[in-house]
Amino acid sequence: MPRIDTAFPGFQRGDFTVLFGHSPCKMLVFLLSVRCQLPRRKGGLNSTTVFIDGGNTFDPYAVSTTAQEYGLEPKSVLEKIFVSRAFTAYQLTALVCEKLEEALKRHNSKLVVVSDIAGLFLDRDVPEIEGSDLFFKMTQHLLNLAARRRVIVVASYFP
């Protein structure tokens, strides 16, 4: 797709990107989680994925379908996507700021996906100023981590 390749050349290691939107963004993070497992010669990273699920959006069926489209064994692909779910803004911040780096080392991952990065911070039970401070802390951590560890961090936000 020459037009897409010209408009969007892709991600580089060290990037921190936020995808904004609904269904297409969900499918794109699943696609990236599968494609990163491909060998470098086929456009992949030959890597596992750490998927931090802030919006309870991880869909193993969509991942399996995508894997099959790339001629990959779905079970093998799913075993290389390490999912951790957060149900509160506090859990999401702790996962990112306290646990993520160790997971990257343990799994030798070059891709981090954070699904619905802002949704939990907009919960009415999270005080606005505290939520804003936590969100800033978490996003700064992701930005620094991407650059320092040379990983790709892709976050999604579903309005």
pLDDT in tens, 70-89: 999 999 999 999 999 999 99
What is the domain count for the chain? 1
pLDDT reading at 133 higher than 90 = yes
Tell me the residue range of the domain where 54 lies.
Answer: 10-157
88 located within any domain: yes
Asked, for residue 2, whether it belongs to a domain, the answer is no
Q: Which CATH number goes with the domain that contains 58?
A: 3.40.50.300
The angle, 0 to 180 degrees and rounded to 10, between the axes of the packed helices 128-149 and 100-107 is 30
pLDDT of residue 10: 76
With respect to residue 29, please indicate whether it lies within any of the assigned structural domains.
Answer: yes
pLDDT of residue 22: 79
Angle of helix 23-35 versus helix 60-69 axis, rounded to 10: 60
- Within a domain: residue 4? no
Give me the chain's average pLDDT, please: 93
**Within a domain: 1:** no
- Does 5 fall in a domain? no
In the chain, which ranges are E strands? 16-20, 49-53, 81-85, 111-115, 152-157
Asked whether residue 135 is assigned to any structural domain, the reply reads: yes
Give the pLDDT score at 43. 87
pLDDT for 98: 98
pLDDT on residue 4: 45
Confidence band, pLDDT 50/70/90 cuts, at residue 1:
very low
